[in-house]
Chains A and B, each alone.
Chain A
Amino acid sequence: MKRFFDAELETFRSHLILMGETSFRQVRDAIKALVEANIALADRVIAADDEVDQLEIKIDDEAIRYMNLRSPIATELRFVIVGMKASHDLERVGDEASNIAKRAVKLAAEPPLKPYVDIPRMAAIALEMLRDALDCFLHLDADKAIAVIKRDSEVDAINRQLYRELTSFMIEKPETISRALELMFISKSIERIADHATNIAEEMVFLAQARDIRHTDELKKSEPI
């Protein structure tokens, strides 16, 4: 039976989709701005962070209102809670994109330390994870969510490798320290983005199966650096 407030849930869902798309675009553009030393694009990313923040506020508000007035239960309750958490992760993804864009502006003023290969590769994986995590949300696909979670270690591995590489740069040529540090932070940001995608995927498993797989050995996570 259709209910008069089903439309509210649809609005909530479409705001989440919009937020997912917006934060995805932010990350993609931040990396593009970095690789192309495109300051104008980086500035646009920084300016657009507010859109993501506003969506988070809207989504929180809708979720609280829905829980308060519509007394959702079962799948619907999980959906609203998970949606709220996912929006928090997406907001952080947006923040990381904005951080990357700020560093891209600084780096654009100097010659590149080395050709951008690992960072775009790492970012491509993180973006795929983000997109797939959002997809599971739309289709309640727990298998896909688990596949996302498993990819987190790929990003971690590249991050660790970059860390070692950049450390040796700094030791050998101290004049590269500031640039290498910026790149380390960017690499860390991408790694965080993949973590947020992983969180969203874990939340999706909970949504689809009411099973909490966080902090369990079910999916062995990679070690920190």
Chain B
Amino acid sequence: MPGREAARPAATALPPKIRVRGLDLFYGAKQALHAVALDIAEKKVTAFIGPSGCGKSTLLRCFNRMNDLVDGVRIRGEVLLGGQDIHAPNLDVIELRKRVGMVFQKSNPFPKSIYENVAYGLRVAGVSQKAALDGVVEKSLRGAALWDEVKDRLHESALGLSGGQQQRLCIARAVAVEPDVILMDEPCSALDPIATAKVEELIHELKKQFTIVIVTHNMQQAARCSDQTAFFYLGKLIEYAETRTIFMNPANAQTEAYVSGRFG
């Protein structure tokens, strides 16, 4: 990906939600991202694929400055969220993380009730009226296609839910604070095919309202759920295009080898 020219798949109607330019990231002396430049389209699903260690999670964590929490990280380059530089000195990182929510590979509900898990972000933000919380909890659980399964046990522990339900609960928790962007790092890797299908269905629903970036090792999943796909290798963005193009007619031989399972 030469120079500062941004990779951007076919023209989309809306301006990009996230813009990345010349992004380098170092863990100490080791460079994990090399001059990454790409645009993430608003209200679309963008998939990041690539072999283990290529920097997908690292890049994802750049979008809400989660890498700030890692010792010895150095970042160069630009990340704009809705046109705003997320590294600007006056930027409120807590606010940023509210706008850019995250769902992890291992579902990580708090050891609290289902209700409290979803209400958590709002309580932190100072909302305390029961009616307001009830409304958001229901809406978010419905949004995460979990409401019908848990509506009668809202005050039971979230840890009693199945893995797939826990993952959808984490999505409900992310949705509850109404972020702009939801980042998902291998959200289905611990789920069975049915739970996976439910999450994929959910992703398809959520993109009506949110911009979604998903990291996945499952090629079929990337093909099914995403609109755009970015392929990374050794910290570099190798190819970025419409998902259909990446899976049917990739321009790059490495991309083709990877998506067809003939890598290395």
- A positions within 8 Å CB-CB of B: 1, 3-5, 64-65, 68-71
B104 close to chain A: CB less than 8 A? no
Separation of A1 and B243 alpha carbons in the complex (Å): 24
* Contact indicator A69/B201 (Cβ below 8 Å): no
- How far apart sit A4 and B194, CA to CA, in the bound complex (Å)? 14
CB contact between B248 and one of A4, A68, A70, A71 (< 8 Å): that residue: A68
User: Is B99 at the interface (CB under 8 A from chain A)?
Assistant: no
In whole angstroms, how far apart are the Cα atoms of A68 and B256 in the complex?
Answer: 13
> A69-B223, A69-B224 given as contacts; is B247 within 8 A of A1 (CB)?
no
Q: Contact partner of B223 among A3, A64, A71, CB < 8 A? A: A71
Residues of B contacting A1 with CB < 8 Å? 194, 197-198, 201
Q: Which of B198, B204, B248 contacts A65, CB < 8 Å?
A: B248
- Contact in complex: A70, B201 (CB < 8 Å): no
Tell me if B220 is interfacial: C-beta within 8 Å of chain A. Answer: yes
Q: Find chain B residues with CB under 8 A from A65 CB.
A: 244, 248
Q: How many residues of B are in contact with the other chain, CB < 8 A? A: 14
| Given A1-B198, A1-B201, A70-B224, 19 extra CB contacts under 8 A | A1-B194, A1-B197, A3-B201, A4-B204, A4-B205, A5-B224, A64-B248, A65-B244, A65-B248, A68-B223, A68-B244, A68-B247, A69-B223, A69-B244, A69-B247, A70-B223, A71-B220, A71-B223, A71-B224
Residues of B within 8 A of A3 (CB): 197, 201
Which residue among A1, A3, A69 has the maximum number of chain B CB atoms within 10 Å of its CB? Answer: A69
Complex CA gap A20/B247 in Å reads 30
Give the contacts of B161-218 with A (CB-CB under 8 A).
194, 197-198, 200-201, 204-205
Residues of A within 8 A of B201 (CB): 1, 3-4
Docked pose: A1 CA to B195 CA in angstroms: 12
In the bound complex, how far is the Cα of B248 from the Cα of A69, in angstroms? 9
Q: Which residues of chain B are near A69, meaning CB under 8 Å?
A: 223-224, 243-244, 247
Q: Which residue of A lies closest to B223 (CB)?
A: A69
Question: How far apart are A104's CB and chain B's nearest CB, in angstroms?
Answer: 42
Residues of B within 8 A of A5 (CB): 224
3 closest residue pairs by CB, A with B = A4-B204, A69-B223, A71-B220
Mark interface residues in B244-264 (1 if CB within 8 Å of A CB, else 0). 100110000000000000000
- B203's nearest neighbour on chain A, judged by CB, is A4
- Closest Cβ neighbor of A2 among chain B residues: B201
Give bound CA distance, A3 to B220, whole Å.
Answer: 15
B226 to chain A: closest residue by CB: A69
| CA gap between A2 and B46 in the complex, in Å | 23
Chain A residues with CB below 8 A from B220, complex form: 71
Residue of A nearest to B248 (CB): A68
14 CB < 8 A contacts A-B: A1-B194, A1-B197, A1-B201, A3-B201, A4-B200, A4-B201, A4-B204, A5-B224, A64-B248, A68-B223, A68-B244, A69-B244, A69-B247, A71-B224
**A114 to B79 CA separation, bound complex (whole angstroms):** 81
Q: Tell me, in angstroms, the Cα distance from A64 to B200 when the chains sit together.
A: 21
Chain B, 112-146, CB within 8 A of any chain A CB: none
> Closest approach, in angstroms, between the C-beta of B221 and any C-beta of chain A?
9
Shortest beta-carbon distance from B129 to chain A in Å? 35
Give the distance in Å from the alpha carbon of A1 to the alpha carbon of B200 in the complex.
12
Min C-beta distance of B193 to chain A, whole Å: 11
Neighbouring A residues of B197 by C-beta, 8 Å: 1, 3
User: Bound complex: CA of A70 vs CA of B222, how far in Å?
Assistant: 10
Distance in Å: Cβ of B151 to nearest Cβ of chain A = 19
CB distance from B62 to the nearest CB of A (A): 28
Distance, CA A68 to CA B244, complexed state (A): 8
Indicate with 1 or 0, residue by residue over B219-241, a CB within 8 angstroms of chain A CB atoms: 01001100000000000000000
A5 CA / B197 CA spacing, docked (Å): 12
- B220 to A, closest residue via Cβ: A71
A225 CA to B40 CA, complexed, in Å = 64
Q: Closest Cβ of chain B: how far from A1's Cβ, in Å?
A: 7
Whole-angstrom distance from the CB of B228 to the nearest CB of chain A?
Answer: 13
Cβ contacts under 8 Å, A71 to chain B: 220, 223-224
What is the minimal beta-carbon distance from A185 to any residue of chain B, in angstroms? 40
Q: How far apart sit A65 and B200, CA to CA, in the bound complex (Å)?
A: 18
Cβ–Cβ < 8 Å partners of B205 in chain A: 4
Min Cβ gap A73→B in Å is: 10
Docked Cα-Cα span, A21 to B223, in Å, equals: 33
